[in-house]
Amino acid sequence: MFAMQLGSTLIVDTFAEAFRMRFVRLIITAADDYWLDVALRETTGYGSSVIGCDAEIGVERLLPTNETPDGRPGAAVLAFGFSTDALAKAIPNRVGQCLMTCPTTAVFNGLPDAEETLPLGKHLRYFGDGFQKSKLLGGRRYWRVPVMDGEFLLEEKLGVAKGVAGGNIILQGTTPGVALDAARRASEALATLENVITPFPGGVVRSGSKVGSTYKGMVASTNDAFCPTLRGRVESELVEGANCVYEIVIDGTDEQAVGEAMKLALKTAADEGVLAIGAGNYGGKLGKFHFYLHELLS
């Protein structure tokens, strides 16, 4: 390995290993910014990792009223799953429980040109108990489901496309405060990009994982190599002086989007007190996409 620095921060000569996943893009609108925020918080909750959640989901970007189908405040939300079938179960459930219940919302297909689709309004329309109505506009079918504040409008289908999930950086700081500030800087910078999400809380992971466990049946467990309290008890990957580690995980619509996001995360996280930034991988055996940190910065 050869040394690469961003200022005083060592960039470890390693790579992040990411996976092929399917994704949908939901366009969610509401009467005003308050109810849009409520809708987004509900919809993207419990959506950090498919290790335990039904989807990895987050806000891609907020949309001005001139970019939404109904001229109201809106946002694009990306949701990732290992298969179309998995998303076909997760997304209608989330829309039904989190958006149909939320005052004033409507839901539109953000991938209208996708060749593959999954049903949305096709299933949720039945909540209308026979009073639901449909209309075909520009080759796209919409459903109007009667609810107590009027009608819940949603599209019949959502487009599904191939994406890339699991790009990541792992930063090591001298103190928890330094590491958390760096992680937040990187997360906030990534929030300005299109075509990517950071699905973990605030875009930051404190409980990075490794494959497998000493306990039978556990598919993942704590990444002990980066736990400061286990230094001296395990084969540690902590650099000298590091006392707090955070990971940022990135899902994107394609390989280029994830690579650009990782590059931005590296540049914004590096600073005084951030001793090293590396990435998580599984020896290149599980994911087909390998993002080498030095190549991203060269």
**Quick check: 86 and 47 in contact, CB under 8 A?**
no
Strand-pair partners of 155? 142
Query: How far apart are alpha carbons 275 and 5 in whole angstroms?
Result: 10
pLDDT by residue (tens digit) across 79-93?
A: 999 999 999 999 999
pLDDT of res. 286: 86
Q: Torsion-angle region of residue 150: left (phi > 0), alpha (psi -120 to 50) or beta?
A: left
Q: Which CATH class is domain 5-18+164-297?
A: alpha beta
pLDDT of res. 285: 85
Query: How far apart are alpha carbons 169 and 238 in whole angstroms?
Result: 14
Residues of the chain with CATH 3.30.70.520: 5-18+164-297, 21-161
Q: pTM, whole model, 2 decimals?
A: 0.96
Query: How far apart are alpha carbons 292 and 13 in whole angstroms?
Result: 7
pLDDT by residue (tens digit) across 278-291?
A: 999 988 888 999 99
User: What radius of gyration do the chain's Cα atoms show?
Assistant: 21
Pick the CATH number of 21-161 from 3.30.70.520, 3.40.50.300, 1.20.1630.10, 3.90.1150.10: 3.30.70.520
Token pair, residue 1, equals 């390995």
| Closest C-alpha among 283, 278, 275 to residue 293 | 278
pLDDT tens track, the chain, 298 positions? 467 999 999 999 999 999 999 999 999 999 999 999 999 999 999 999 999 999 999 999 999 999 999 999 999 999 999 999 999 999 999 999 999 999 999 999 999 999 999 999 999 999 999 999 999 999 999 999 999 999 999 999 999 999 999 999 999 999 999 999 999 999 999 999 999 999 999 999 999 999 999 999 999 999 999 999 999 999 999 999 999 999 999 999 999 999 999 999 999 999 999 999 999 998 888 899 999 999 999 9
Residue % of the chain over a pLDDT of 70: 99
